[in-house]
Structure 1
Amino acid sequence: MTSRELLYVKTVTEEKSISRAAKKLFITQPSLSQSIQRIENSLGTKLFNRTPEGLVATYAGERYYQVACKILKIYDDFESDIKDINSMKKGQISIGITNHLGNIILPKILPEFKEQCPYVTLTVYEGSTDSQEVKLLSGELDFAILHAPKKDTSPLLNYEILANDPFIIAIDQNNPLVKSAKVMEGYTYPVLDLKLLKNEKFIMLHEDQRIRHIADSILAKAKIVPEIILTLKNYETAQSMAGKGIGITLLPEDYARLTSLESEPVFLSIEKKYTPGWDLCITTTNSSFLSHTDQYFLSLVRKYFSKEK
């Protein structure tokens, strides 16, 4: 029972004539007659009786007509839904993003997005980078905005790099090493030779956090095995403790600008030879299907946050 067969029976029932129905359907009368005959043969029953008033549906024909009307209406509604989704009038997006990136990115993106797509429902999952990657692979998210790993990337995930955010050193302003930092062109803050930190105590985030992965990578390149005296979940707390002289921490430059602390640490830049940074990226799976609405949202992310040329 195809949509074409449903339409043929529906039209013949309404027109009560093969010739009028054929004309309305833009097919030949013999072709329509043969089609109706095939449908009746496949069902094993007649759908129409010939009367002086024209073709009249049998009981089976009337039931076929009722079902055909319902199915064709569902099909038409579905086509309209797809058209609305493709034109971004409606739909749903499931997004993964870290808490901190959500604070940076969503306020910038959502006003413009909602103006263009007011009836699109957004579901935002805020969690760790690793948990977002798991949800992407399970199909729970359409895409995620996160920071790419330094290594061990999944072959099933695509990372579209948008920008690199350098990491910096947060250190107590009274630490003697502050005076060893030098102003250098191309750096936001005075640059400190990373190897001078080898005897310092460190405040680090937990090992399951991507900030920690990047910090470990930077220190490893300087051949520093850090003496960790405090492990935290919150980078703001780590930054605050660094300002109070508890220890030294490494954090992204953009994150340092987000906070205003009672005890502000001094920020120092790290030489580029240590590749001290992480990459903001759009993450999708190899098998991802991105709707027009998904693509529009991501175009806004690229518009405001891509620094790659």
Structure 2
Amino acid sequence: MYNEMIYIYTIYEEGSFSKAAKKLYLTQSALSMAVQRIENNLNTILLDRTKRPLSLTLAGEAYIKKYLEISRLEKELLKELDDLSNLNKGELSFGGSQYILSYILLPVFYVFKKKYPHIKLNIIECSSDLLNSYILNGTIDICLKSEKIKDPFINHGLAFRDTLILAVPKAFIELFNLPKIYFTKEKLLDSTYLSFKNLPLEYLEKLPLIILSKGNNLYEITKKIATEHNLNLNIILEISQLVTALHLSSVGLGATLTTNILASKTFDNDLVYYKIDSLLTDRKFYFVTKSKGYLPKATLKFIEIAQDILNSNNRML
């Protein structure tokens, strides 16, 4: 029956019998006969053949939903069996933004892959608003989140923490008459920036701002800061990635909220930075998986390696 369900799912995914038959290495007539037999056995119609591309009937939607549940359970079973081979095979999928993948977890991926070379490591770059659905549907096994974690997700401990700061093109200092309480990358690296005064929040209304788009954690923080302090922000652009926003700021397009970690790892000399007077600028990121279902040994080992490396890095910040 599971193979039959794959036939229906492939037709639904491809939108036509011909494309599905090609993908399944079947003739179109053989696939049509198989589907007709399935529908006859179930005494119901699963596919609406009057529409192009093909669509599901209500019965078809229920059928596909159960197929996805069975497929998820099969993946969990395979992961459990993989554990029996002492991590000599298996798979681990991690999802996150460009900031998390390239600037936080890069050394973790390297060490994990070196220690467990036979574990297939899938790294999926995506915006933070997709992480919840990706974990629940099994696209990824684990991610990092900085918001409050609740069911159907579970928190596996602290990964790292960062601080939000305002990145400002140097030309804006004179253009907007900004106070001389800014600091440079060098001050970030030696942590002396911590003694600098905060930029008065009313300056956020004067500056053209580049912010992260809706669905990102930083979008919510930016809006909360504006609401709490009754600020009318001059938002000129919304971007899905933190790294891209910082690059756009570096060419003089606008100011942007970034992190102390990201700013300390860039090589641009055309930016200065300001501390922001808000408790919301201190962020903690946690390892997150779904709360129900089997947790593979590879995921636990990844968390163990990551905590060791990231704790060492945090002590150096």
Under TM normalisation by the shorter chain, which class is it? 0.5 to 0.7
Task: Answer yes or no: is the 8 Å Cα contact 2:97–2:125 preserved in 1.
Answer: yes
Q: 1:258-278, CA deviations, whole angstroms, 9 ceiling, x for partnerless residues?
A: 3223x621111123x433133
For 1:208 and 1:255, the matched residues in 2 are separated by: 20
Q: Which residue of 2 aligns with 1:31?
A: none
Q: Gaps (5+ residues) in structure 2?
A: 1-76
Q: Which residue of 2 aligns with 1:114?
A: 113
Q: Gaps (5+ residues) in structure 1?
A: 1-77
For 1:206 and 1:281, the matched residues in 2 are separated by: 22
SS in 1 for 2:215: coil
Q: Which residue of 2 aligns with 1:258?
A: 265
Q: 1:88-137, CA deviations, whole angstroms, 9 ceiling, x for partnerless residues?
A: 22222222222221112443123322333221112222211121210111
Q: What pairs with 1:185-224 in structure 2 (closer than 5 Å)?
A: 187=194, 191-224=198-231
Identity of matched residues, %: 21
Q: Which residue of 1 aligns with 2:166?
A: 169
Q: Which residue of 1 aligns with 2:285?
A: 280
Deviation, 1:165, is 0.7
Q: Which residue of 1 aligns with 2:297?
A: 292
Deviation, 1:189, is 5.5
Deviation, 1:154, is 5.0
Deviation, 1:187, is 1.3
Q: TM-score, normalised by structure 1?
A: 0.62
Deviation, 1:238, is 3.0
Letter in 1 for 2:178: L
Q: TM-score, normalised by structure 2?
A: 0.61
Q: Which residue of 2 aligns with 1:155?
A: 151
Q: 1:161 to 1:84 in 2, by over 3 A?
A: closer
Deviation, 1:242, is 3.3
The alignment covers a number of residue pairs equal to 225
CA RMSD of aligned residues (A): 3.2
For 1:161 and 1:265, the matched residues in 2 are separated by: 30
Q: Which residue of 2 aligns with 1:28?
A: none
Q: 1:236 to 1:293 in 2, by over 3 A?
A: closer
Letter in 2 for 1:166: T
Q: 1:255 to 1:181 in 2, by over 3 A?
A: closer
Q: 1:85 to 1:220 in 2, by over 3 A?
A: farther
Task: Answer yes or no: is the 8 Å Cα contact 2:142–2:289 preserved in 1.
Answer: yes
SS in 2 for 1:213: helix
For 1:190 and 1:84, the matched residues in 2 are separated by: 52
Q: Which residue of 2 aligns with 1:104?
A: 103
Task: Answer yes or no: is the 8 Å Cα contact 1:163–1:281 preserved in 2.
Answer: yes
